[in-house]
Structure 1
Amino acid sequence: MFSKMPPMTQLKSMAGSTWLWLTFALAVASMALVAYRLDRLSYVTYLQRMKSDTTMAMMDLREDFEAEIFDKLLMVRELAAIIGQNPDMTQSQFAIAASQIRGRDDLVINIAAAEDLKVSLVYPRAGNANVLGFDYRDSPEQLPLVEQVMRTGVSAIAAPVNLVQGGRGIIVREAVYRPSNSTVSRAPVPWGVVSIVIDYEGFIDRVGLNDIEDGYDILIREASQAGQHRVFFGSPALTQNDPVRLDFNFPFGNWQLLTTTDGGWPAASPTQTRERLIMAAVAALLMGLLSYVLWLSEARKLAQRRLSNGIDALDDGFVMFDADDRLVACNAKYREIYDFSADLVKPGTRFEDIVSHGMKREFIDGTNGAQAITPAERAAARRDSEAIDIEQHLLNGRVIKVSDRRMRDGSYVGLRVDISELTRARTAAEAASKAKTDFMGVLSHELRTPLTVILGVARLVSNARLLETSKALKAALEDPETTQGDIAARVDDMYRQLTEIIARMERSGSHLLHLINDMLDFAKIEAGHLSVDCSACDVSSILEPVAEQARVLAGQKGLEVQIDDVSPTLAVLADPVRARQILLNLVSNAVKFTDSGSVALSVAPSQDQVVFTVTDTGVGIPEDVIGGVFDPFYQVDSTATRRSGGTGLGLAISRELAMAQSGSLSAESQVGKGSSFTLTLRRSTLRAVA
């Protein structure tokens, strides 16, 4: 069908294709990204292995370090206990106890005890006599740690410390408490502090830091939340190299062991060069294969693309059949409209088979009005027509405008335009227009009735002299034989009649105000200006006015009212005025459309919400229309609405008010059995008022 181009010409043509270069560039970028990810993954894996090995090595060091520290803590605590039992011991007694402790560990340089923070005992005395009488309060450097030991009763370590006799040491301190002599309190009394000085260099050598340091950089420190870290061993600069960290299990402070390999972590794995060469070779092979595949694909699709691009660019469905009603070409939109698979709709498929497949899947209507029609009859009718312009209603609800034109060779082309949205918009507009017309009819009736009553009452009041009770009163006043009792009776009659007239006018005015409020609320909702003021309020304050109104309305029709009692502590997060408005509307509707039986208002609290349910035994709402009762201008039966009163906006307003309070409003109903409307509001907790 297409002439074959020479390979070199094809290659040059493809080399100039933007799509080819973009695909090639994307493939190169993807391979480079994959190679980079693999390289990083290899290094990260190597680094994780190094850190894991370092952690295992440091765990042994940490155990040795902790064992030595705890051993020194036991020494100082033992000596503190001895002094606590004998707080008045002499220098010689102290020397005996201290020599026993010192004899257990040759790293102990000296031991001192300070009663009331003033050194009074020291061992060995030789070379340390000048320490006697030393007051820690005179040493700003040592006093904070000593006071911390006395205040908390927890041991503390200061290291490394430069010693007077030369070298560096580790000072382990423990608070000493003596028994109380008071008869009031038996709590121990602080005596002072005891200190053991340990050879720092010998300690470092014993725990193995000197041996292990050849392969690692190590930092041991006491960390502080304030950032004032005290270094025990190593360089603080180590923290900049992402070290492995192990925490010591000491009863005092926050001691940490931080480690890297000697000189920091390696910048590359030993096998990095070999792995990169392998990835480069694999990438080169894949690029060669990709270039060959792209060349083959471009050569095969070049001719098809020119035709398919043209028809696929159409926003509407395009189809072409030959003179034998076999498919020549169609675009993706055509398949999407009829939900046909690419395997079915392919060149050579008969029109009759396509229609038959659509009917079997109950996608294409198999009737012509009320008469059934077969795929063969549909195909024959198509062949007999020169032009077809119809609206096709699919069984999935879509509406398609079909326009087919026969060509000179007997084949024909067709367009399929999806006019579903246009049809739905037209139907919705017609329904909205009818709803508004019905609404205006109801509204005009609802407004005219109370206005007629108000105007009639106003005319009666303005001509009060023409009332029968007024005439009777006037006649009684003019009759000299009328007694005061008769006059009072005539006045009462006139007042009673005027009260009834005014009450009628007041009811009509209230009804008119309710209608106007509904229209104003709906106008705010339409404009997006409806606001609610949500706060924690008790449910009983919302229910009480609703219950009172429900009893009044139900009593007028002889209906039974059932209202749940609620706990005074039950509360919701809502606007009490708007919540009450919703429930009043639901109760009013329930009474309005219930001629006999009962109306119930139940309250069911759950963990995070409170559910209000208004149930009646009225006429009910058909299942096919219950979904529209919350739509504006929607009326299930305008005659029933006109008979019972109202504009039909109440439920639409109520749902918007419920949603504005983060709640919901739903309905269930059975014709002849009644309806149930459910309002949910967020549950809240009332704060006690002091």
Structure 2
Amino acid sequence: MQQAVPSALDKVARRSVRVGFIYNVVISVMVFMFAVASVEFWLYQQAHDQEVKDVRNALLAYRSRIELKVTQNVDLSHGLTTYISLNPDLTQDQFSRFASQLKAKSAHILNFAAARNWVISHVYPASLKRILVGTRYHDVPEQLASVRAAYASSEPVISGPVDLLQGGTALIARQSIINQNTGLPWGVLSTVLDIDSLFSASFAEGEAYPVRVVLQEKSTAEGRFTPIYGDPSILAQSPESVAVSLPSGHWRLLGIPQDGWKSLHPHPMVWGVGLIILGFWLGGLYARLNAGRSFAQSIGRMVDDSYRFRSIFKRHDAVMMLLDAKSGEILDANDSAQRFYGYDHATLTAMRISEINTQVDSTLKQSLSQARQREKNCFIFEHRLKNGESRQVEVHSSPITVGNARLLFSVIHDVSERLEVERKLMLNAKIFEQSSNRAKGC
């Protein structure tokens, strides 16, 4: 039965060490996963930021070329607008000769069409006369809005892609024409630009970082951007965007890397270094586990020794006490001490030895000091019991250390009867000696 409690405490200590080890391992793995994931995300963010920067630089380069080529073609058509405004009554042949010179300077112009008073009157190439000449813009509602915008603006108006009357789609730049002789509106010049050749030429000079792009225009009527050129599928892949400055409207160029944005993926080096660090850390925890086991065993032995001492101390027939070596406070007393002095445990441990020992304080302090310094360990004292009786006791005191406390372990024997017998024997011996001396004197 005496071994049951220490064994249970030893098991508890061992279990506590194991639970602590498992807890530390789980926390360590969680911290490891969080740290590696954080590093992975940081590396991904760095790579993504670089991708965004590269895509944006490519888009800015493409935008510059688009703006340059569109502006160059619009400037060419501006020359024809000026020619018409100075010659409001020009013939078709005059129009064709001047327009042919301008078209020869650009591979992106498909044709010109001049509309006087909302009706197409001049075209180039002349092969389109049969299809276009005489067409009233009021009868072409899909183009009427841009024609009206051109009439109302002194700047070119670009729209597209536009379904052409002669077939196909194109980008149309329209400019209003003012009769220089009268100062009144003459009409509108439409310059039809080949979307594919215009923008493919802008993207032909590939950047160091290839991208997939789409050019969009914001529809005035619907208030949303619609694709003009490029790959509309990239719109679902969070593309980077830059605004494009064209003579009219709201345009933007969007792009993503040629192979799409890079996804988050593991870096073997990060995981390798992390696993090495984790291995060292877990090795340290395992070493601590072994140390903890040894400590638990030591605790178990200490508890076992303490329990055994406590059991002996409490149940021993001899009167035993633990005293504070300096103050003389009674810190503990066994069952025999309680029976001998007549006090219960609580009362006895609330007393000082001076309340039991009849010696004066100075002599008692000297005796405590001698016992504490191992100068003397056996004393004869007179102790007073609870019922008022006095007993002669022989006290054997030895200093012990518990934690940081210096204690006196005292074993007390009642020697009252022995001393009384010794006193009587000495008295009888003295009487006998005196009687012998008187007999010799006679």
* TM-score, normalising length: structure 2: 0.57
Alpha-carbon distance change, 164 to 147 in structure 1, aligned in 2, over 3 angstroms: closer
Give the corresponding residue for 2:275: 280
Give the corresponding residue for 2:247: 251
Q: Is the 8 A contact 2:41 2:264 kept in 1?
A: no
- Match among 156, 177, 186 for residue 191 of structure 1: 186
Give the corresponding residue for 2:227: 231
Give the corresponding residue for 1:108: 109
- In the TM superposition, residue 179 of structure 1 has moved relative to its aligned partner by 4.7
Give the corresponding residue for 1:397: none
- In the TM superposition, residue 258 of structure 1 has moved relative to its aligned partner by 1.0
- In the TM superposition, residue 220 of structure 1 has moved relative to its aligned partner by 1.0
Q: Is the 8 A contact 1:116 1:192 kept in 2?
A: yes
Alpha-carbon distance in 2 for matches of 1:107, 1:50: 32
Alpha-carbon distance in 1 for matches of 2:14, 2:64: 73
Q: Is the 8 A contact 1:169 1:198 kept in 2?
A: yes
Question: Helix, strand or coil for the counterpart of 2:27?
Answer: helix
Alpha-carbon distance change, 229 to 292 in structure 1, aligned in 2, over 3 angstroms: same
**Which deviations, in whole Å up to 9, do the C-alpha atoms of 1:615-659 show, x marking residues without a partner?**
xxxxxxxxxxxxxxxxxxxxxxxxxxxxxxxxxxxxxxxxxxxxx
Alpha-carbon distance in 2 for matches of 1:88, 1:215: 51
Question: Helix, strand or coil for the counterpart of 2:127?
Answer: coil
Give the corresponding residue for 1:52: 53
Alpha-carbon distance in 1 for matches of 2:279, 2:167: 68
- In the TM superposition, residue 189 of structure 1 has moved relative to its aligned partner by 3.8
- In the TM superposition, residue 221 of structure 1 has moved relative to its aligned partner by 0.9
Does residue 1:289 correspond to 2:271, yes or no? no
Does residue 1:240 correspond to 2:236, yes or no? yes
Question: Helix, strand or coil for the counterpart of 1:253?
Answer: coil
Q: Is the 8 A contact 1:39 1:276 kept in 2?
A: no
Q: Is the 8 A contact 2:212 2:255 kept in 1?
A: yes
Gaps of 5+ in 2: 1-5, 300-326, 329-347, 354-442
- In the TM superposition, residue 67 of structure 1 has moved relative to its aligned partner by 0.9
Alpha-carbon distance change, 177 to 281 in structure 1, aligned in 2, over 3 angstroms: farther
Give the corresponding residue for 1:150: 151
Alpha-carbon distance change, 77 to 277 in structure 1, aligned in 2, over 3 angstroms: same
Alpha-carbon distance in 2 for matches of 1:290, 1:180: 97
Q: Is the 8 A contact 2:172 2:192 kept in 1?
A: yes
Does residue 1:203 correspond to 2:204, yes or no? no
Alpha-carbon distance change, 274 to 17 in structure 1, aligned in 2, over 3 angstroms: closer
Does residue 1:93 correspond to 2:94, yes or no? yes
Alpha-carbon distance change, 14 to 228 in structure 1, aligned in 2, over 3 angstroms: same
Alpha-carbon distance change, 297 to 15 in structure 1, aligned in 2, over 3 angstroms: closer
Give the corresponding residue for 2:216: 221
Alignment of 1:277-426 (within 5 A): 277-293=272-288
Alpha-carbon distance change, 296 to 210 in structure 1, aligned in 2, over 3 angstroms: same
Give the corresponding residue for 1:34: 35
Alpha-carbon distance in 2 for matches of 1:84, 1:303: 109
Does residue 1:261 correspond to 2:257, yes or no? yes
Alpha-carbon distance change, 263 to 166 in structure 1, aligned in 2, over 3 angstroms: farther
**Which deviations, in whole Å up to 9, do the C-alpha atoms of 1:494-523 show, x marking residues without a partner?**
xxxxxxxxxxxxxxxxxxxxxxxxxxxxxx
Alpha-carbon distance in 1 for matches of 2:295, 2:152: 88
Tell me which amino acid in the other structure corresponds to 2:196. E
Alpha-carbon distance in 1 for matches of 2:176, 2:54: 40
- In the TM superposition, residue 280 of structure 1 has moved relative to its aligned partner by 3.0
Q: How many residues align?
A: 301
Question: Helix, strand or coil for the counterpart of 1:276?
Answer: helix
- In the TM superposition, residue 113 of structure 1 has moved relative to its aligned partner by 1.0
Alignment of 1:491-510 (within 5 A): none
- In the TM superposition, residue 138 of structure 1 has moved relative to its aligned partner by 0.8
Question: Helix, strand or coil for the counterpart of 1:122?
Answer: strand
Alpha-carbon distance change, 224 to 124 in structure 1, aligned in 2, over 3 angstroms: closer
**Which deviations, in whole Å up to 9, do the C-alpha atoms of 1:35-90 show, x marking residues without a partner?**
11111111221222222222223322222111101111212233223333333333
* TM-score, normalising length: structure 1: 0.38
- In the TM superposition, residue 134 of structure 1 has moved relative to its aligned partner by 1.1
Q: Which has the larger radius of gyration?
A: 2
Give the corresponding residue for 1:591: none
Tell me which amino acid in the other structure corresponds to 1:51. V
Question: Helix, strand or coil for the counterpart of 1:53?
Answer: helix
Q: Percent identity?
A: 22
Question: Helix, strand or coil for the counterpart of 2:142?
Answer: coil
Q: Is the 8 A contact 1:14 1:20 kept in 2?
A: no
Alpha-carbon distance in 2 for matches of 1:103, 1:302: 100
**Which deviations, in whole Å up to 9, do the C-alpha atoms of 1:559-616 show, x marking residues without a partner?**
xxxxxxxxxxxxxxxxxxxxxxxxxxxxxxxxxxxxxxxxxxxxxxxxxxxxxxxxxx
Alignment of 1:131-142 (within 5 A): 131-142=132-143
Alpha-carbon distance in 2 for matches of 1:91, 1:169: 23
